[in-house]
Amino acid sequence: MIGFLLILFVISMLFASTTGRLEAYVKIFSIQGIIFFLIILTYYSHIPLLDFLLLLIETLLVKTVVIPVILIKVIRKNNIYREVEPYIPNFFSLVISVIIFVFGFILAYLAGQYTQDIRPFYFGISISTIVVGLFIIMSRKKIITHIMGYMFLENGIFLLSLSVAREMPLIVNLGILLDIFIGVFLLVIIYNHINSTFAREKINIDSLSCLKD
């Protein structure tokens, strides 16, 4: 079961690296929230009830519902629906992402050989997800796409927290949850301010080079 869920997670990241539709990024993020919830439900049902409820709120409510709703509203409010001209074409983005995950699986194998304190499969996929999140940020022009890259990167950190401890590191994940809220709200505020300055079709990273003190 866990292998199937993690493979679904990898497929979702590969799709995120190739799609140009902004709402597709949000839907992928929401699906990943459901995947995390199923992982926790399957393998961490033995944790204290309060901890389980907090993780339920983080994965099934915040990641799956609250943040996607906020981002969908921003996308539709500003009438931007596609990443039209990424720095790297979608096909090459897919190839690069596949290479990143291959190295992640190699890293997972090596980690399993030299230490017993981590879950290798989790570890390799989480590191790859973090790198792919950074790659999405670097290879896209739209600011809203950068926000989604940050969200995927955070999901990689969440998965990494599952790999490095036998018990759920609740404090770490609560800190991540707080970072999500702060990051999303600040980025949305900044995005709306930029939107009031630049034309909507020009809301991309290149426009920021025009800003001066």
Model pTM? 0.78
pLDDT value at position 201? 47
State the average pLDDT over residues 82-107: 84
Going by C-alpha positions, the residue among 55, 16, 13 that lies closest to residue 37 is 55
Q: Is the pLDDT of residue 127 over 80?
A: yes
Which DSSP symbol is given to 86? -
pLDDT value at position 137? 85
pLDDT value at position 153? 86
State the average pLDDT over residues 5-12: 90
Say how many domains are in the chain: 1
Burial class (CB in 10 A: 0-12, 13-18, 19+), 78: middle
Tell me whether residue 194 is in a domain: yes
Looking at mean pLDDT, say which of 15-19, 94-98, 111-115 comes out highest.
94-98
In which band, very low, low, confident or very high, does the pLDDT at 179 lie, cut at 50, 70 and 90?
Answer: low
pLDDT value at position 192? 60
DSSP string, 138-184: HH--BHHHHHHHHHHHHHHHHHHHHHS-SS--HHHHHHHHHHHHHHH
User: What is the span of the domain harbouring residue 22?
Assistant: 2-207
| Phi/psi of residue 173, nearest 5 degrees | -70, -30
Tell me whether residue 12 is in a domain: yes
In which band, very low, low, confident or very high, does the pLDDT at 119 lie, cut at 50, 70 and 90?
Answer: confident
Q: How far apart are CA 213 and CA 133, in angstroms?
A: 30
Tell me whether residue 47 is in a domain: yes
Alpha helix segments (H runs only) across 44-142 = 49-56, 67-77, 90-114, 120-139
Q: Is the pLDDT of residue 4 over 80?
A: yes
pLDDT value at position 164? 66
Tell me whether residue 213 is in a domain: no
| Helix, strand or coil, per DSSP, at residue 20 | coil
- Cβ atoms < 10 Å from Cβ of 171: 9
pLDDT value at position 144? 76
Find out whether 148 and 25 touch, Cβ atoms under 8 Å.
Answer: yes
State the average pLDDT over residues 139-162: 81
